[in-house]
């Protein structure tokens, strides 16, 4: 099976949606890191027992030792979360963009349009449903065009100019749709 070369990642697709999703993800990351830091900080602030005073390290509270570690962990999780959040909206926005482009083509009358997403993309079920709907519309339109041709034959045999003009207008409308 030949492998398809992947196109360059376009980070400008659906920028407003990506920004909206990015702010939500960033907010969740900041909130969860803050809650984790607060829980650990208040838990670690408790005074340590007398046996720790005799240790080689002079500590009054566990928080004196853990506070730099907590902040370093929070900073690392914040940075890694931001990197993840930067690429996650693209995973959603790309398929939405391709579905939107396909629907735009269908809206323009091109019922032959097939929306293709990569195998691992999300929303493949939506693209499949749109493709099936377009295929069903193609079948229904082919049936209507067949009836149109039969109607034209009947009208042409009768040679009624008004009916022939109406049939010609209907044919022009039907021909705008590509099946």
pLDDT in the model for residue 50: 47
Q: 176 pLDDT exceeds 80? A: no
b (16+ CB within 10 A) / e for 118-133: eeebebbeebeebbee
Is this structure's pTM higher than 0.75? no
CB of 134 closer than 8 Å to CB of 103:
no
Q: How far is CA 2 from CA 7, 18, 119, 125, in A?
A: 16, 32, 15, 24
pLDDT in tens, 150-159: 777 777 776 6
Calculate mean pLDDT across residues 88-102: 84
* Residue with the two structure tokens 């049936």: 143
């Amino acid at each position: 099976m030949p492998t398809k070369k992947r196109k360059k990642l376009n980070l400008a697709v659906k920028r407003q949606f990506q920004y909206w999703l990015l702010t939500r993800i960033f907010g969740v990351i900041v909130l969860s890191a803050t809650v984790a830091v607060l829980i650990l900080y208040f838990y670690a602030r408790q005074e340590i027992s007398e046996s720790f005073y005799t240790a080689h390290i002079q500590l009054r509270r566990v928080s004196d030792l853990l506070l730099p570690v907590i902040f370093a962990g929070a900073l690392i999780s914040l940075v890694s979360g931001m990197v993840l959040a930067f690429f996650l909206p693209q995973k959603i926005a790309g398929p939405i963009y391709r579905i939107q482009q396909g629907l735009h083509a269908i809206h323009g009358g091109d019922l032959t349009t097939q929306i293709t997403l990569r195998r691992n993309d999300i929303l493949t079920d939506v693209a499949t449903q749109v493709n099936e709907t377009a295929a069903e519309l193609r079948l229904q339109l082919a049936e209507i065009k067949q009836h149109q041709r039969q109607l034209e034959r009947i009208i042409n045999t009768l040679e009624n100019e008004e009916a022939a003009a109406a049939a010609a207008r209907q044919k022009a409308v039907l021909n705008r749709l590509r099946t």
